[in-house]
Structure 1
Amino acid sequence: MKLDRRHILLVNVLLIAIGVIFLLWAIIAVQTNGKIFLEAIGIGLIAAGGVNFIDKFFSEKEKEDDIKLVSPQRSDADPLIYMTKYRAKKVDIFGVSVTEVFNEFLNDQGEDIVDRVFSHRLRLRMVFVHPDADFLNQRAGEDHISAEELRNRQLNSIKLAIRFYKKLLDEYNLRVKKKGKMSKMGSLEILLIKACPYVSIYRVDNKIYWGLYASHKSGTESPLFLSEKREETGMFDFIKEHYYTHVNNKERFDDLHLIKMTLRDREPYLNRNLVDHLLGKDNVDAFLSQL
């Protein structure tokens, strides 16, 4: 039976109390040998209990849960959680679809996220599933929608990403014209994956909000969990490595970078080969001309 911290502290308090009883017994003892014996036991118990209590109380902190349940359903989570990306230095958004995030960025009149990238060194990465990924056929059934509907949603995310690229490009050119080189510029990557993501991830600095893609429920109906970075390896590092494996697998995913802006003296890059393949070159030309 493994005792937790509270039980160990209680046991040591009990040892001290028993030690005090032996000392009191020694005081009223008549025989000298018995008095010495009782005092030795009492002092030993008090010393052992006291040292262990101090060590456990001051040197060991109560361990917090490595996984916290934030909300039984992601759709019911506090919206303020998703506002933390506007104060963070590192933001990773990873999942089957990120359509809502694109819409949020594009409808942001204050252009807060764009300003965070250009003026506050925000490192933003967004990853979502390729419209032609085989995995989408399975996920569509789990989300209770048709495969065609889910593919169209992914294609719409591509269009939203192009609009976001144009917004970034316009802002980049405007700032370069006014200020020249931007010393405080961060970086941005948006890429596609063809593999199953298994989890949705919203990482803001040292916190990762995550949820499983379960086979019996849609993503929004599934629980949202939180894991925070600690000194020792934990769930935060485990999930981060899962995500980074997709992001850093250059051999498989280099051609799936949709948008990239990682160098301060380079404008945002749009992977025209990729978007032309997905949407058609003429459609992309027409779409860009309207922006």
Structure 2
Amino acid sequence: MSVSDLGAAGYLSYCATPKRPDFRVPEGAVDAHCHVFGPATRFPFAPERKYTPVDAPKEQLFRLRDYLGFSRNVIVQATCHGRNNDALVDALATSDGRARGVAVVGADVTDPELDALDRAGVRGVRFNFLKRLVDDTPHAVFERIAQRVQPLGWHVVVYFEAQDLATVAPLLGRLPGRIVVDHMGRPDVTKGADGPEFARFIELMERNQQIWVKVSCPERLTVSGPPYDDVVPFAHRLVTTFPDRVLWGTDWPHPNMETHMPDDGVLTDLIPRIAPTESLQQALLVTNPMRLYWPEEMQP
């Protein structure tokens, strides 16, 4: 395996030959956070993007899904494609119902456009607060969008860093419906899973039963590097404290990585460390994502 090749703007390309995971995921497991990028010749990247990723087409994503043993994907629109969800919709259309999507839309999105996204398999809308990736958007705009997607049964996905929690938390309290926080709220892992900073995020989830969280992206949070021992306690605490409100995803193809590209097989092998029992693994990988993205298939 080689991750030495640099893609556009110096970013590493995804690991093309990941290891076969030692951990066997349960039947029906969902990779609940991944992306498709381009190919740029067919789906150009947004002019306003803050980074240019390596092409990562749907065909490679679906091959990885099968190789790792997963059954389904939740594909999340990333900022490099802006508000043009065409690559996402195309991937959903060719997934044979095995993928759902999270889109990015603006305040000017029309009801027919939302309906079309819903028919395509979109089940959520993403709000990004990372200033290095997006320009500022007034919170009132996010509130209006959240209200508009409620009739469709969509949820809201939010992406922020731990230092921004105090600013974002009031907005989360005003948003209707379910809210999914990306990547554990990006904690500073040097401050410890039992420290006061992460405790504030735990308290937020305890107060607001509508908030779910993805225990994903150790490669972005780690200081020590693989095997991500410094990140495991954060994910483990969330999984064991909120077993019915956690999701897991690869974050493939891991955009913006400049020095370290994770092996998705290694990431999959982390799952039993953060969800140490079969019941926790079943909830994390099957029951919870199915409730959120394929509720029509759940037993009454």
Q: Which TM-score applies when normalising by structure 1? A: 0.28
TM-score by length of 2: 0.27
Whichever structure has more helix as a proportion of its residues is: 1
Higher relative strand content: 1
Larger Rg, first or second structure (1 or 2): 1
